């Protein structure tokens, strides 16, 4: 098992965090953060590229020194530099990064002024009012810290992003499926339901007689296993090097569907299904559906649902949030699939903070079978990303026109990711925005306005007819930054009134609009733009993350604007029917 990109990313990010906490040169810190972002977005495994002798400096943002650092990580599993930093800076300070309102600089300041090194010490200092007294903090920041600490306590252990768990799932599934006599291998639990984060993994397998021992041996000897917690004939548990616990259960073929249903969950969904069974005189558990002592169903999940008069319910919907009633009434949506997507409406090139040029992004989109790709560079407010002013945008539009004249089978759309300013105005004048094919308008700054001001700001922006898509509306970063305090229901209603689409951003740590509000938006008739916010050609593959989030949000093909052919899309983008 090779080291995954997300593991390399995490090491580079830890180095950057500790360097910044220590107060080292910001350019060096930024180099590690940029390298972490590039590695995360690669569709190919960086470790395999190192093993094959490929030159990582082909990626803009990775120089020779950084390529050597990545090679060291791949070959040794860590960096000597990281070990040195841990000796110089209390490693427990990294735990403080769990507090969304704190970054490395603020953590460094608190550490140097108050000697705080742990979450417990942070809570004590905030509770005693010491943090509010520090320069650049104040009462509001102190309260935000206390609120975040409360949420961290309530949630318990940090959960892994779905996308970070997926490589382990794929390798485990491939390894176990390749054993002779193994019939089925599926991952159940929150991973199968497509939840944004995963706490552990449940794998269910069935195999022919006498293959159980070989199957268990392959599982516990998997190269990614750090510790074996338990090993038995039909169940074993391990801890992966990522910290994720994985349980493997061997299930009889006759009970496989019932077990898969049971361990997929959610608990609330399973209870609702069992109640329907009780009403019919059945007993439903992980071994099957029983009438008295006779098993009447359980080989497949479809059998389990049919026994209580329901159509098959997709795993992503199993949260007891109306899916049972929808199945009873024949109202289950036909959920969107990857093959329904005709293009991507949010991407960046190296003209701002991306890593590919126009042609590279276009060719990658064409290879995915897309009809169109929107190039949406940052506007001038995002100066760190090299955001464009009106004059620069005009030149960029001309460059897109030139590429479109040469390309066959793909159309680049002229777009921008335009900042929504604090007063609700847009970061570029209408005189240039009206000449674009589309705009994605987002909040990047002043994200801590109070609920009413932030909500009014966004609605005021949507009053501008040149706002086509509201980008990553909550601005959350899962596990890192809390969502903005906004009235999303009011914003969705305003979008409906103004015929504005709302983005479901497929970046793994965004998945924003959150799935429960996707459902609300669809019910109100608001259209969704399912986009990757790609910063490289490889990032276009993140659409799969968005598909899973969309399915959890009950979204069908018709709910998503980029399932339309280009002529229909153009009508929608300019607030047409």
Q: Does 334 score more than 50 pLDDT?
A: yes
Strands 288-291 and 283-285 turn out to be antiparallel
- Compute the distance between CA of residue 137 and CA of residue 139 in angstroms, rounded to an integer: 7
- Would the pLDDT of 448 be above 90? no
The pLDDT of residue 260 = 98
Residue pLDDT, tens place only, 377-388: 999 999 888 999
Count of Cβ atoms closer than 10 Å to residue 373 Cβ: 28
Residue 540 is inside which H or E element, if any? none
Residue 108 CA to residue 100 CA, distance in Å, equals 15
What is the distance between the alpha carbons of residues 356 and 540, in angstroms, rounded to a whole number?
11
How far, rounded to the nearest angstrom, does the alpha carbon of residue 259 sit from its chain's CA centroid?
A: 28
Any alpha helices (H) in 250-355, and if so which ranges?
256-264, 267-279, 301-307, 323-329
CB-based burial label for 406 (10 Å; 0-12, 13-18, 19+): exposed
Give residues with Cβ within 8 angstroms of 517, minimum separation 6: 488, 489, 492, 553
Residue 577 has pLDDT above 60, yes or no: no
What HEC string does 36-91 produce? HHHHHHCCCCHHHHHHCCCCHHHCCCCCHHHHHHHHHHHHHCCCHHHHHHHHHCCH
Task: Assign residue 57 a region (left: φ > 0; alpha: ψ between -120 and 50; beta: otherwise).
Answer: alpha
Provide the β-strand partners of residue 204: 186, 249
- Sign of the CA dihedral 52, 57, 60, 66? positive
Please report which confidence band the pLDDT of residue 430 belongs to, taking 50, 70 and 90 as the band edges.
Answer: very high
C-beta of residue 266 within 8 angstroms of C-beta of residue 195 = no
Q: Could you tell me which of 556, 512, 561 has the C-alpha nearest to residue 532?
A: 512
The pLDDT of residue 385 is: 87
Of 96-100, 128-132, 325-329, 556-560, the one with minimum mean pLDDT is: 96-100
- The predicted pLDDT at position 242 comes to 83
CA distance 576 to 37: 37
* Residue 447 phi, psi (nearest 5): -85, 0
Determine the Cα–Cα distance for residues 468 and 426; give it in Å rounded to an integer.
Answer: 12
In sequence order, what are the beta bridge partners of 202? 247
**What is the secondary structure of 414-481 as a DSSP string?**
EEEEEEB-TTS-BSS-HHHHTTSSEEEEE--S-TT--HHHHHHHHHHHHTSTT--EE-STT--BTTTB
C-alpha radius of gyration, the chain, whole number: 25
What integer is the mean pLDDT of 326-341?
97
* 100-104, 126-130, 224-228: segment of lowest average pLDDT: 100-104
Q: Which residues contact 521 (CB under 8 A, 6 or more apart)?
A: 492, 495, 502, 513, 528, 559
Cβ-proximal residues to 146 (8 Å cutoff; 6+ apart), any chain: 123, 126, 127
Query: Residues 171-206: pLDDT tens digits?
Result: 999 999 999 999 999 999 999 999 999 999 999 999
- Which of these, 127, 128, 137, 61, lies nearest to 101 by C-alpha position? 137
Helix ranges restricted to H, 134-253: 138-155, 162-177, 189-192, 212-220
Q: Rounded to whole angstroms, how far apart are CA atoms 517 and 559?
A: 13
Domains along the chain with CATH numbers? 5-155 (1.10.150.110), 160-250 (3.30.460.10), 255-329 (3.30.210.10), 338-573 (3.20.20.140)
Confidence of residue 576 (pLDDT cuts 50, 70, 90): very low
What backbone phi and psi angles, to 5 degrees, belong to 239?
-110, 125
Query: pLDDT per residue over 33-66, tens digit each?
Result: 999 989 988 878 999 999 999 999 988 889 999 9
Q: How confident is the model at residue 155 (pLDDT cuts 50, 70, 90)?
A: low
Peptide bond into 107 cis (omega under 30): no
Residue 140: per-residue pLDDT? 85
């Amino acid at each position: 098992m090779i080291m995954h990109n997300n593991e390399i990313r995490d090491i580079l990010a830890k180095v950057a965090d500790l360097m910044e906490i220590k107060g080292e040169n910001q350019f060096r810190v930024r180099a590690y953060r940029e390298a972490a972002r590039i590695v995360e977005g690669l569709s190919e495994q960086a470790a395999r590229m190192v093993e094959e002798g490929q030159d990582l400096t082909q990626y803009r943002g990775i120089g020779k020194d950084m390529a050597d650092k990545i090679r060291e990580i791949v070959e040794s599993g860590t960096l000597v530099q990281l070990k040195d930093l841990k000796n110089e800076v209390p490693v427990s300070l990294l735990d403080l990064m769990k507090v969304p309102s704190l970054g490395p600089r603020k953590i460094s300041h608190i550490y140097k002024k108050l000697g705080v090194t742990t979450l417990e010490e942070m809570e004590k200092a905030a509770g005693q009012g010491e943090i509010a007294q520090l320069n650049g903090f104040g009462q509001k920041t102190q309260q935000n810290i206390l609120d975040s600490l409360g949420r961290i306590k309530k949630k318990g252990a940090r959960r892994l992003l779905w996308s970070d768990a997926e490589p382990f799932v794929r390798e485990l599934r491939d390894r176990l499926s390749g054993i002779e006599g193994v019939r089925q291998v599926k991952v159940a639990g929150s991973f199968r339901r497509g939840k944004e984060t995963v706490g552990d993994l449940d794998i269910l397998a069935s195999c022919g007689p006498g293959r159980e021992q070989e199957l268990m041996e392959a599982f516990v000897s998997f190269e990614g296993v750090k510790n074996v917690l338990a090993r038995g004939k039909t169940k074993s548990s391990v801890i992966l090097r990522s910290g994720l616990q994985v349980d493997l259960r061997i299930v009889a073929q006759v009970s496989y569907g019932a077990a898969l249903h049971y361990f997929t969950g959610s608990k609330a969904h399973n209870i609702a299904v069992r109640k329907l069974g009780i009403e019919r005189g059945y007993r439903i558990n992980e071994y099957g559906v029983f009438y008295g002592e006779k098993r009447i169903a359980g080989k497949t999940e479809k059998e389990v649902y049919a026994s209580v008069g329901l159509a098959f319910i997709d795993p992503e919907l199993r949260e007891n949030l109306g899916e049972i009633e929808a199945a009873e009434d024949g109202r289950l949506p036909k959920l969107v699939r990857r093959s329904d997507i005709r293009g991507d409406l949010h991407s960046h090139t190296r003209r701002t903070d991306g890593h590919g040029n126009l042609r590279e992004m276009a060719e990658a989109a064409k290879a995915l079978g897309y009809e169109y790709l929107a190039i949406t560079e940052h506007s001038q407010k995002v100066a760190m990303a090299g955001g464009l002013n009106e004059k620069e945008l005009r030149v960029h539009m001309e460059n897109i026109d030139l590429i479109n004249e040469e390309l066959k089978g793909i159309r680049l759309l002229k777009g921008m990711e335009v900042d929504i300013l604090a007063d609700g105005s847009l970061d570029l004048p209408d005189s240039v925005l009206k000449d674009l094919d589309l705009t994605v308008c987002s909040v990047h700054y002043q994200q801590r306005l109070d609920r009413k001001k932030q909500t009014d700001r966004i609605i005021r922006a949507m009053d501008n007819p040149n706002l086509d898509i509201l980008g990553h509306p909550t601005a959350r970063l899962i596990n890192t930054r809390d969502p903005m305090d906004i009235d999303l229901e009011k914003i969705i209603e305003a979008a409906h009134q103004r015929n504005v689409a709302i983005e479901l951003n497929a970046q793994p740590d965004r998945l924003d609009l959150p799935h429960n509000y996707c459902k609300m938006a669809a019910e109100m008739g608001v259209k969704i733009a399912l986009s990757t916010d790609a910063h490289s050609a490889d990032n276009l593959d993140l659409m799969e993350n968005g598909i899973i989030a969309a399915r959890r949000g009950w979204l069908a093909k018709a709910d998503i604007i980029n399932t339309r052919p280009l002529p229909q899309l153009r009508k929608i983008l300019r607030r047409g029917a």
